[in-house]
Structure 1
Amino acid sequence: MTITRRNAAREFFISTYGNKYANLKFTVVLATRLANGELDWKNRRVLLLAMNRATLSKLISYSDEPGTEVFYTPVPRTAKGDPSVDNSGDGYSIYADVDKRVLDAAVRNWLRMNGFSLIRSGGVVVGEDGQKYPRFHVHLGLSSSTPPREVEELNAALAAKLGADSKTSSAALLRVPGTRNWKPENIGANGRGALVAVASLSYRSLSVSELHQALGTDASSTSAPVRTQSKHEAPTEPVKTSRRERGGRVNATLTGFNGMYKEGTRTNRHGLLMGLVKDCIRAGLTLEQTWGVAEELDAAQDKAAEEGTTVLSQVIKAWNSTPAEQVRAELATADSVAERLAGTQAAEPKRSTSRFLTRQQLRERPEPRWLIERLLPEYGVGQLFGPSYGGKTYAAVDLSMRLCTGMDDWIGQKINGKGSVFYVLMEGGFDFAKRLDAWEMKYGRTSDELSVMVEEELNLADPDSVEALAADVEATSSTPALLVIDTQSLAVRGVDENDNTGMNEVMQSLKALSKRLNCFILLVHHTGHENGDRARGASSQPAALDVIIRIRSSEDKGRHIDVTKVKAGREIKAVEFRLEEQRNGAPAFTVMTAAESVAAHLSNEDRIVAYIRENATDGPVHPNDIAKALGLGESTVRAHCGTLADEAKCMKGQRPPLVVHKIRRQVLYAVAE
């Protein structure tokens, strides 16, 4: 599979809408972001398009223009028209825009387990720990067409479960995967908007009843819940509450939303307060207490004053339009999001379907997709090992640079397009830039798709450290194709590398990380002290790995790289390489041709004979020319030439036989008898 934004987007539509995706049409909106960060909604372009390859290529191309945003309606449309006017057809998916909450690992795992796909929307949200985490769009394919009204109800249930934005309408607009997010706060140091990237895909689809079971909602209800909450009059004064009384969910909302107000990035004030009020109801707060919470939104008060209103009036409006009874009912069956934000342990969610597959489902599973044909799959865990000073890092750099610059092959195996590479360097940071420069000098290519983490804290045996690594990758604007960790031994601490149990846990953690990031992970490792044919450490490692690449090095036989294991692929015979010094003094990994490999292992005498056979058929060859061509010393060549001329060694076994003649100061020529 070619690793491009277009293909990632296409895979998303296939996974969400199945094979029928190309026959469905969606409303697409192109809008330009103005200098103040707001969208020029008045001059937007509205299109009705089928999301085929050509369409996705054009939309992605449009989004690369600074400030151009691309949105679409996840529910197919029956005709072109204003996106705010609902002319939806039947839906084939449900969706949620989770832009106010941190989706922790447990929630993401629950979503994946139940068949949801996760799309990073390009923005970030600040967690209670002050760290930035990616925002997500969540999608799930439905096994049958579903009326728009029912899609909206399912969307509302999903949004309530995740604490998501209120984009539940079948006319809602979300971002197209593969395009860019040009909000001012999402523009990177390179001046480009953050990518709307595929985090993980699921090709499963659920029936409506299965989805109700997963969400803990009533499958018999086919209409929107009746809002029975009575209207509330304005309270006389706000009631203050402590952080403990409010709970983690409300506190997180205050932290995130107040920051958004101050930065001017949230234009829907009513939507913000709706979310805050809903959280307060879930926390069991009264209207007076909710008013007290809203009073802490300093920026909201300033904005209300500018607009000639008050925070209280907005809170009452939100409170009266929020069905408190429904919210409290949702809270009883909600998953662990709020509880984890509050720091409490939640029960594991109940699975809606079995993880066992039928024979037919096995047949329908997609074929493996390859970063490098029959060598590196799209995701999985592999190991490149070799002796110290054998060229491991140079080989990993060559692989990384060839992938992110879009070269044709690596060690003779086809590369299926270009992709972003993340390189975690645990040692050798002092000259790594020089090594990259040497590679660029050798091959004349460069790329900004390589990101390097230099000698930072990482422990693959620590779940929190692995989570931090994933967050670092997801916080960038790039979609990873390959993650290199160099070296494995320095990245695994607190676990005996010879302990099968401990290393199995590390490998399982890496496999989960690979699926989460949807990329291949390559570990650079050392050989064993006594056996250079296997990697150092636990004997269980080879069985847990999807790919094993070996480097062997010796003075007499040179350096070789071969592939000893590829699941669903093929083993690759040894290829000889050399480290070729560049003008900056650093070497670059260079695969040798068959002729170069043979020549490298000939004796000097054999090399001289081969040169004479090739070049002396039309006349004499001077030893100086031989020395220059073969990189040998002139005195060495003259000594061998004299021996050859005197003993005529090259006659033995040659067909046709050659006679080497010695004339005038060891000038040689060869003729066939």
Structure 2
Amino acid sequence: MSIEIDPWGGFPAINTEVPTTLEGYQAEVLAGKTYITAEMFAAVGYTVEYIETGSWLGDQLKAAELAEHGLPCYLKLDDAWEYSLKTPQELEAAIAELSTENLESAAKEQYWNKFPNRLKGVDEMLKTPEIEWLVQDKVHSTGLFQLYGASYAGKTLITIDLVMSWCAGLDNWQGYHLNNGGEPQEALYIAAEGGAAVSVHVDAWIKYHRVDKARLAGLKFLDGGDGDHVFLSVGKKAEAVPENDSWDRLFKEVVEAGINPSLVVFDTQIDIAPGVDENSNTDMVGILREIKRKADSAGFMAMVIHHTGHDGSRERGASGMKGKCDAQARLEVIGKDTGQAKLTWTKVKGRECPKDIISYHIQGSRLLPDLDSEGAVCVPISNLDASKTYTTSEHQLAKQMTNALSIKGKLSAVKLSEEIGVGRNTVKFKEMIDALLTSKQITITGKGPTLAYELAPNFHDDTLS
């Protein structure tokens, strides 16, 4: 509704007798009275709010410009006797502000409904549930687990052992409890190198453990031996991923297969990220961050298989990778040409880093004549007669060490070497410590300057007799 106002009628006089009808208002305008009040606008169907400006305007020309746009003037009551008119700019700003407030209010409500506030108070933090484990106190049920080791150390073998033990519903893996309730589970193994190198070990595992293949129905493989891959594109130098090798395609295949994997293995880590710089924290942490994000959001444990660096003491490449992992373990061979290996834990988030280790012997049909398979399996060393691997001199050294620990209790490497008269930096001292730890005859207590060795709780002297 356009309100005609005479812009040249002079400054409005104060008039307490305000017209209350449209006709009365029009009569006042026709009579040349140019004052405008909220009550007048109300009489012609407008609701006008007071907006305080603290200024005296009274510009009839401004009021006329507003009227030409069909807009009422917002008024400010400076005091009991004075009215002031708003300029078009002030009016538009006021309307915009009002609209913005309404929109912001609606937008905020919509946002918080979609994304509830994630911040917790102390009481809520105390209600946070306990950590859920896939491998009790070692590997979480969701997140990122990196296993690394030297080439030919048997990384794929021990990984197959874990995955198939989990999927078959076995209650333990290499002596560690599996939280699967004894029921078959679902998993996905992305075998980048794949082919016979994997299938023969799968065959050996089934035959060695005498597991019905029906219990492994939830285990699926993406076999790189067939030229099938999945790639992630992360990092500045990352290559574009073709649709046939995309994560989206793999996701659709998993859904089509009717499984909801609780464990997904990426063997190896570098094969899922072509073109990235292994030594770049930006690239490699970015890759692991993306894998962990997918795992956390979908509720599975992502296990990545990686290699050691040149000196074998840590994972190859960027130093920041360990920080992204929820759990991390290092695989090492024991001795030379022994066929033995051990897995040492280097990180378990939410727990003190475990001091115990997994130690096993890689055995095939040569050592297991009844296996009837070209593959190999990981047999825990605790299940073998450990003394058979000792020469006469090694057996004597083992007896000396365990006798000293039996008499003295806990001993540091320095004290133990003094007790038996063998230098702690010699190869035979270090290898025998390794062997006794691997066969679970001694354990480590303390760390750093307080690190010491003691007999394992289940040690029996006849083990070395």
- Secondary structure at 1:471's aligned position in 2? helix
Q: 1:352 to 1:452 in 2, by over 3 A?
A: closer
Q: 1:559 to 1:578 in 2, by over 3 A?
A: same
Q: 1:602 to 1:409 in 2, by over 3 A?
A: farther
> Which consecutive unaligned segments of at least 5 residues does structure 1 have?
1-209, 217-348, 611-673
Q: Which residue of 2 aligns with 1:526?
A: 307
Q: Which residue of 1 aligns with 2:207?
A: 441
Q: Which residue of 2 aligns with 1:517?
A: 298
Q: Which residue of 1 aligns with 2:331?
A: 551
Q: Distance in 1 between matches of 2:309 and 2:249?
A: 30
- Secondary structure at 1:534's aligned position in 2? coil
Q: Which residue of 2 aligns with 1:460?
A: 232
Q: 1:442 to 1:498 in 2, by over 3 A?
A: same
- Secondary structure at 1:549's aligned position in 2? strand
Output one character per residue of 1:597-619: Cα deviation in whole Å (capped at 9) or x when no partner: 34323449959xx9xxxxxxxxx
- Secondary structure at 1:431's aligned position in 2? helix
Q: Which residue of 2 aligns with 1:571?
A: 354
Q: 1:605 to 1:393 in 2, by over 3 A?
A: closer
Contact kept? 2:201, 2:374, Cα under 8 Å: no
Structure 1 residue ranges (4+ consecutive) displaced by more than 6 angstroms after TM superposition: none
- Secondary structure at 1:593's aligned position in 2? helix
Contact kept? 1:386, 1:535, Cα under 8 Å: yes
1:211 offset after TM fit, Å? 11
Q: Which residue of 2 aligns with 1:538?
A: 318
Q: Distance in 1 between matches of 2:384 and 2:167?
A: 29
Output one character per residue of 1:319-347: Cα deviation in whole Å (capped at 9) or x when no partner: xxxxxxxxxxxxxxxxxxxxxxxxxxxxx
Of residues 358, 366, 370 in structure 1, which corresponds to 2:129? 366
1:214 offset after TM fit, Å? 5.4
Contact kept? 2:223, 2:229, Cα under 8 Å: no
- TM-score of the aligned structures, taking structure 1 as reference length: 0.37
Q: Distance in 1 between matches of 2:230 and 2:294?
A: 14
Q: Distance in 2 between matches of 1:499 and 1:350?
A: 39
Q: 1:397 to 1:572 in 2, by over 3 A?
A: farther
Q: Which residue of 1 aligns with 2:343?
A: 561
- Secondary structure at 1:475's aligned position in 2? helix
Q: Distance in 1 between matches of 2:205 and 2:263?
A: 18
Q: 1:433 to 1:363 in 2, by over 3 A?
A: same
Of residues 153, 164, 179 in structure 2, which corresponds to 1:416? 179
Between structure 1 and structure 2, the one with the greater Rg is: 2
Contact kept? 1:576, 1:597, Cα under 8 Å: no
Q: Distance in 1 between matches of 2:355 and 2:221?
A: 29
Asked which structure has the greater RCO (Cα within 8 Å, sep 6+), the reply is: 2
Q: Give yes or no for the alignment of 1:591 onto 2:371.
A: no
Output one character per residue of 1:264-308: Cα deviation in whole Å (capped at 9) or x when no partner: xxxxxxxxxxxxxxxxxxxxxxxxxxxxxxxxxxxxxxxxxxxxx
Q: Give yes or no for the alignment of 1:492 onto 2:258.
A: no
Contact kept? 1:374, 1:568, Cα under 8 Å: no
Contact kept? 1:423, 1:453, Cα under 8 Å: yes
- Secondary structure at 2:289's aligned position in 1? helix
1:568 offset after TM fit, Å? 1.7
Q: Paired residues, what number? A: 266
Q: Distance in 1 between matches of 2:346 and 2:381?
A: 20
Q: Distance in 1 between matches of 2:283 and 2:272?
A: 14
Q: Which residue of 2 aligns with 1:397?
A: 160
Equivalent position amino acid for 2:361 in 1: R
Q: 1:439 to 1:604 in 2, by over 3 A?
A: farther
Contact kept? 2:144, 2:295, Cα under 8 Å: yes
Equivalent position amino acid for 1:391 in 2: G
- Secondary structure at 1:586's aligned position in 2? coil
> Which consecutive unaligned segments of at least 5 residues does structure 2 have?
1-104, 235-239, 365-370, 400-465
Q: Which residue of 1 aligns with 2:43?
A: none
1:444 offset after TM fit, Å? 0.5
Q: Which residue of 2 aligns with 1:34?
A: none
Output one character per residue of 1:557-603: Cα deviation in whole Å (capped at 9) or x when no partner: 73111222111235142232111113222211211117633432344
Q: Which residue of 2 aligns with 1:472?
A: 253
Contact kept? 1:528, 1:535, Cα under 8 Å: yes
Q: Distance in 2 between matches of 1:385 and 1:215?
A: 46
1:528 offset after TM fit, Å? 0.8
Q: Distance in 2 between matches of 1:214 and 1:411?
A: 52
- Secondary structure at 1:502's aligned position in 2? helix
Contact kept? 1:480, 1:517, Cα under 8 Å: no
Contact kept? 1:422, 1:450, Cα under 8 Å: yes
Output one character per residue of 1:139-176: Cα deviation in whole Å (capped at 9) or x when no partner: xxxxxxxxxxxxxxxxxxxxxxxxxxxxxxxxxxxxxx
1:436 offset after TM fit, Å? 0.5
- TM-score of the aligned structures, taking structure 2 as reference length: 0.53
1:457 offset after TM fit, Å? 2.6
Q: Distance in 1 between matches of 2:164 and 2:269?
A: 20
- Secondary structure at 1:353's aligned position in 2? coil
Q: Distance in 2 between matches of 1:603 and 1:421?
A: 46
- Secondary structure at 2:130's aligned position in 1? coil
Of residues 363, 372, 380 in structure 2, which corresponds to 1:580? 363
Percentage of pairs with the same residue: 26
Q: Which residue of 2 aligns with 1:428?
A: 194
Q: Give yes or no for the alignment of 1:377 onto 2:160.
A: no
Q: Which residue of 1 aligns with 2:220?
A: 451
Q: 1:352 to 1:395 in 2, by over 3 A?
A: closer
Q: Describe how 1:151-166 pairs up with structure 2 within 5 A.
A: none
Q: Distance in 2 between matches of 1:421 and 1:576?
A: 24
Q: Distance in 1 between matches of 2:121 and 2:251?
A: 33
Q: Distance in 2 between matches of 1:421 and 1:476?
A: 11
Output one character per residue of 1:362-413: Cα deviation in whole Å (capped at 9) or x when no partner: 2222221111111111100011111111110000000001000111111221
- Secondary structure at 2:262's aligned position in 1? strand
Q: Distance in 2 between matches of 1:594 and 1:420?
A: 28
Q: Distance in 2 between matches of 1:493 and 1:551?
A: 24
Q: Give yes or no for the alignment of 1:504 onto 2:285.
A: yes
Q: 1:211 to 1:391 in 2, by over 3 A?
A: farther
Q: Describe how 1:629-644 pairs up with structure 2 within 5 A.
A: none
1:448 offset after TM fit, Å? 1.3
1:461 offset after TM fit, Å? 3.1
Contact kept? 1:551, 1:560, Cα under 8 Å: yes
Q: Describe how 1:608-619 pairs up with structure 2 within 5 A.
A: none
Equivalent position amino acid for 1:517 in 2: A
Contact kept? 2:190, 2:223, Cα under 8 Å: yes
Contact kept? 1:211, 1:352, Cα under 8 Å: no
Q: Distance in 2 between matches of 1:453 and 1:513?
A: 18
Contact kept? 1:213, 1:352, Cα under 8 Å: no
Contact kept? 2:222, 2:229, Cα under 8 Å: no
Q: Distance in 1 between matches of 2:354 and 2:297?
A: 27
- Secondary structure at 2:356's aligned position in 1? strand
Q: Distance in 1 between matches of 2:159 and 2:250?
A: 19
Q: Distance in 1 between matches of 2:197 and 2:321?
A: 30
Q: Which residue of 2 aligns with 1:386?
A: 149
Equivalent position amino acid for 2:137 in 1: R
1:538 offset after TM fit, Å? 0.5
Contact kept? 1:470, 1:517, Cα under 8 Å: no
